[in-house]
Amino acid sequence: MRYAETGYNLEIDLTRGNIERVATDPKETELYLGGLGTNAKIIWDRVPPEVDPFSPDNLLIFASGLLCGTPATGCNRTIVSTISPQTRLMAFSMMGGFWAPELKYAGYDKVILRGKSPDLVYLWIKDGKVEIRDAAHLKGKGAVETATLICQELKEPKAQVAAIGLAGENRVYYASIEQGRSSASRGGIGAVMGDKGVKAIAVRGTRDLNIARPAEFMALCTEVLDYIKFRNDNPIPGVMPILAGLGSPQEMKVHDEKWHTENFMWGNSRVRRKDFWNEEVATAWMETLDSMRTRLISCYNCPMTCGATISPPGKPTYMMKCFSKLTYTMAAFSDLEFGLGIAQSATEYGVDGFSTPQVMAFALELYENGILTDDDFPGMPADNEGRFYWLLDRIVRREGIGDVLANGTYWAAKEIGKGAEEYAHNTIKKHEQLPLKLSMLNPIYFLMYATGEKMNITQIEGQFPQAPFPTREQREEFVKDWIQVPDEKFKQYFLDWELRGEKSIPYYPTPEMCCDIVDWQERMHYIDDALGMCAGLSSFPLKPPYHIHNYPKFIAAGAGIDMDEDKLTRAAKRYRTLVRANNIRRGMRRKDDKPPENHWKKRFPDLEKELLDTYYRFKGWNDQGIPTKESLDELGLDYVSADFEKRGIYSNDGDTPSKETSAEKEKGV
Ligand code: SF4
């Protein structure tokens, strides 16, 4: 008997219309857990580097995490993996909401799509039964609108629908997949779904899921709920409100946006407005949020209510959470009313709320600097807000300049030329980053930005405070109940961290300490992504309810897998290495492991080199960032080292350029 997982994947060949229910190997679950872990293994086994993002042989995998569908609070993530058209590396984007648990209840752990449908279709999965249905009537429809229409058509109001909008249909490189109360946005996974001719996947399940030791599991769940209650009643002192509690940053609850608006960059990640926040702005923004925020909502089985339904005047209601509340506003130098309004259109079109506003601001910056001209923007309104709406429409339709911009700032700049590349200044591995430009190099963040293979810093940070607390007393107070640390040494690292002097950034924490801290933070995110846990209750906030000490118990009692902290750490290291191996095989090397040039004003090349060298050694990677044969074999990944040897990857000196043709150009479209 399988526990926590169903033991079956759904494999759909869209070219042939073939549907298969495939039993999975429980040994793979033990080695790679589930979700991201087993996705990375499938991509390794079946998507060699010769396969391009828009090839029929690229896979698009919708995976539920190992513990999704169990009563574990907040465990609801769908992990969508494929080869990204933008980065040309392995993308894995997570969505919350309700889809993954529903898939488990319908009898499957993953849906694996391959091939391409000749006509636009949607998939209907109900309790083990699967249909490929015509979606011609849904062509061009919004993502949220599509979900509503499908539920009506199927007469299944409780079906969970993951859908793309026009952006996905037109293969915009930062197209998202939207799912009612969440979205998987990073890496252009919606473009791959559109390329495969799939408009949506609707799921309804009413079956049971087995738990290995139910009473023990429920006791663990109760402990987590008690801890959440305790933390809600006792926010961490000295930490900004959105980080002092649990959940995804509580952007839909807070009114005070001084920190974001004055510290994050406006426009094309260019301008910091240090005195922006004043009483007048605060009042206006509070009124806007209060009038448009109709309800606070949660994902499946979570009490945190960190999403909200937003009803902009004259527009349909949609759902929002986190920082996309501000991304459009700040890119357009506008106000919250504009931001919440355009985000409704962006959600229906299905685009990423981080990349899209930056691409539009980038286009306007090129225009202001004469690199693009009036000829590129025929009929564009004169006002900034009108321009953003105009650009959004062109991008998702791939019309005129929108066709170029639809590939993101990196590829667009290459195509535009004339010095445009100087303006595409905020990408890592070809993907737009948070609009942040800071002063002094932070060694922990340097390593995370440089080596992270998730597409957002918020998806590998957490656990360890972003900056030292001003006084020793505050730090002593903080470490007192810091039960989440995997080792007591982390407390000392933090206790000794000063704002100024010898033990301050950039030389403290030392490179060795930074390795420990980064590795711990990243490990927790990777564990979440295999289990399907929301980072908002685990790897992202300080002092979360889930951590390295109780996760093994959840896995043992829930999935019936014999587990302890070492074994879990090793499993996470195994599939984290496999993600890197997939990318190394696609040409990623040390040259790609770097933050944007201008991320910090004060840079320290020697220290940065030492940090990277030390981290590579710590991880068992060689000086090109390639996992060594010894480290791979030690993790049981000898099939990876054999492949690397066969392909001559170890003899690559790092000068081989990664493939530089965009997926669109390669297709000749
Ligand atoms: S913490 Fe927030 S984002 Fe995470 S599962 Fe709960 S409601 Fe969803």
Atom of ligand 1 nearest to the CA of 300: 5
pLDDT tens column, 42-92: 999 999 999 999 999 999 999 999 999 999 999 999 999 999 999 999 999
Rg (CA), the chain: 23
In angstroms, the Cα distances linking 353 to 183, 231, 664 are 10, 29, 22
Does position 668 have pLDDT exceeding 90, yes or no? no
For ligand 1, pick from 248, 251, 301 the residue to mutate: most ligand atoms within 8 Å of CB. Answer: 248
Q: Cβ of 237: how many Cβ atoms within 10 Å?
A: 10
pLDDT tens column, 159-211: 999 999 999 999 999 999 999 778 999 999 999 999 999 999 999 999 999 99
Per-chain mean pLDDT for the chain:
95
* pLDDT for res 241: 75
96 lines ligand 1 (CB under 6 A): yes
* pLDDT for res 656: 52
**Tokens at 439, concatenated:** 């002063």
Length of the chain measured in residues = 669
Q: How far apart are CA 630 and CA 624, in angstroms?
A: 15
Atom of ligand 1 nearest to the CA of 181: 8
- Give DSSP secondary structure letters for 69-116: TSS-TTB--EEEEEE-TTTSSEEEEEE-TTHHHHHHHTT-SEEEEES-
* pLDDT for res 581: 98
User: In this prediction, what percent of the chain has a pLDDT beyond 90?
Assistant: 92
Return the residue matching tokens 């929301």. 534
Taking residues 317-342, report their average pLDDT: 95
Least confident segment among 263-272, 379-388, 428-437, 653-662 = 653-662
DSSP 429: T
Does position 460 have pLDDT exceeding 60, yes or no? yes
Query: Nearest residue CA, atom 5 of ligand 1?
Result: 74
User: In this prediction, what percent of the chain has a pLDDT beyond 70?
Assistant: 98
Q: Which helix (H) or strand (E) holds 666?
A: helix 663-667
* pLDDT for res 352: 96
For ligand 1, pick from 250, 253, 537, 538 the residue to mutate: most ligand atoms within 8 Å of CB. Answer: 537
357 lines ligand 1 (CB under 6 A): no
Give distance in angstroms: CA of 73 to centre of ligand 1: 9
Cis peptide upstream of residue 509 (ω within 30 degrees of 0): yes
* pLDDT for res 497: 97
534 lines ligand 1 (CB under 6 A): yes
Q: How far apart are CA 314 and CA 332, in angstroms?
A: 21
* pLDDT for res 536: 93
436 lines ligand 1 (CB under 6 A): no
In angstroms, the Cα distances linking 398 to 193, 371, 404, 439 are 17, 20, 7, 37
Query: Nearest residue CA, atom 7 of ligand 1?
Result: 298
443 lines ligand 1 (CB under 6 A): no
> For residues 302 and 73, is the Cβ–Cβ distance under 8 A?
yes
Give distance in angstroms: CA of 661 to centre of ligand 1: 38
3-class SS string, 608-663 = HHHHHHHHHHHHCECCCCCECHHHHHHCCCHHHHHHHHHCCHHHCCCCCCCCCCCH
3-class SS string, 463-502 = CCCCCCCCCHHHHHHHHHCCCCCCCCHHHHHHHCCCCCCC
Give distance in angstroms: CA of 38 to centre of ligand 1: 23
Which has the closest alpha carbon to 291: 305, 312, 307?
312
Query: Nearest residue CA, atom 1 of ligand 1?
Result: 247
298 lines ligand 1 (CB under 6 A): yes
Query: Nearest residue CA, atom 3 of ligand 1?
Result: 248
Helices (H), 161-308: 166-169, 189-195, 214-233, 241-244, 258-263, 279-292
Does position 138 have pLDDT exceeding 80, yes or no? yes
> For residues 64 and 106, is the Cβ–Cβ distance under 8 A?
no
Which has the closest alpha carbon to 179: 356, 392, 347?
347
Q: How confident is the model at residue 669 (pLDDT cuts 50, 70, 90)?
A: very low
Strands 8-13 vs 110-114: parallel, antiparallel or unpaired: parallel
71 lines ligand 1 (CB under 6 A): no
Spatial neighbors of 661 by CB under 8 A, at least 6 apart, are: none
Spatial neighbors of 181 by CB under 8 A, at least 6 apart, are: 96, 97, 98, 297, 299, 307, 319
Q: How far apart are CA 660 and CA 233, in angstroms?
A: 52
For ligand 1, pick from 253, 298, 321 the residue to mutate: most ligand atoms within 8 Å of CB. Answer: 298
Atom of ligand 1 nearest to the CA of 306: 2
Taking residues 4-25, report their average pLDDT: 98
In angstroms, the Cα distances linking 142 to 179, 294, 339, 647 are 12, 21, 18, 44
Taking residues 638-662, report their average pLDDT: 81
**Tokens at 208, concatenated:** 């049971």
Does position 251 have pLDDT exceeding 80, yes or no? yes
In angstroms, the Cα distances linking 105 to 138, 317, 502 are 26, 28, 55
Q: Cβ of 614: how many Cβ atoms within 10 Å?
A: 16
Q: Cβ of 21: how many Cβ atoms within 10 Å?
A: 13
pLDDT tens column, 88-136: 999 999 999 999 999 999 999 999 999 999 999 999 999 989 999 999 9
Atom of ligand 1 nearest to the CA of 302: 6
248 lines ligand 1 (CB under 6 A): yes
Phi/psi region, residue 626 (left: phi>0; alpha: psi -120 to 50; beta: rest), is: beta
Phi/psi region, residue 620 (left: phi>0; alpha: psi -120 to 50; beta: rest), is: left
| Side chain identity at residue 60, one-letter code | L
Task: Tell me if residue 309 falls in helix, strand or coil.
Answer: strand
Least confident segment among 56-60, 323-327, 332-336 = 323-327
Give distance in angstroms: CA of 423 to centre of ligand 1: 35
Does position 277 have pLDDT exceeding 60, yes or no? yes
What is the maximum alpha-carbon separation in the chain?
68
**Tokens at 572, concatenated:** 């996470």
**Tokens at 609, concatenated:** 């080199």
247 lines ligand 1 (CB under 6 A): yes
DSSP 541: S
Burial class (CB in 10 A: 0-12, 13-18, 19+), 653: exposed
536 lines ligand 1 (CB under 6 A): yes
Q: Cβ of 282: how many Cβ atoms within 10 Å?
A: 14
* pLDDT for res 239: 82
344 lines ligand 1 (CB under 6 A): no
Burial class (CB in 10 A: 0-12, 13-18, 19+), 293: middle
Give distance in angstroms: CA of 304 to centre of ligand 1: 6
In angstroms, the Cα distances linking 446 to 289, 509, 522, 612 are 35, 12, 13, 9
Give distance in angstroms: CA of 105 to centre of ligand 1: 20
Give distance in angstroms: CA of 202 to centre of ligand 1: 21
65 lines ligand 1 (CB under 6 A): no
| Residue 164 CA, distance from chain mean position | 17
Burial class (CB in 10 A: 0-12, 13-18, 19+), 620: middle
Task: Tell me if residue 21 falls in helix, strand or coil.
Answer: strand
Query: Nearest residue CA, atom 8 of ligand 1?
Result: 299
Strands 293-297 vs 307-310: parallel, antiparallel or unpaired: antiparallel
The model carries a pTM of 0.97
Give distance in angstroms: CA of 300 to centre of ligand 1: 8
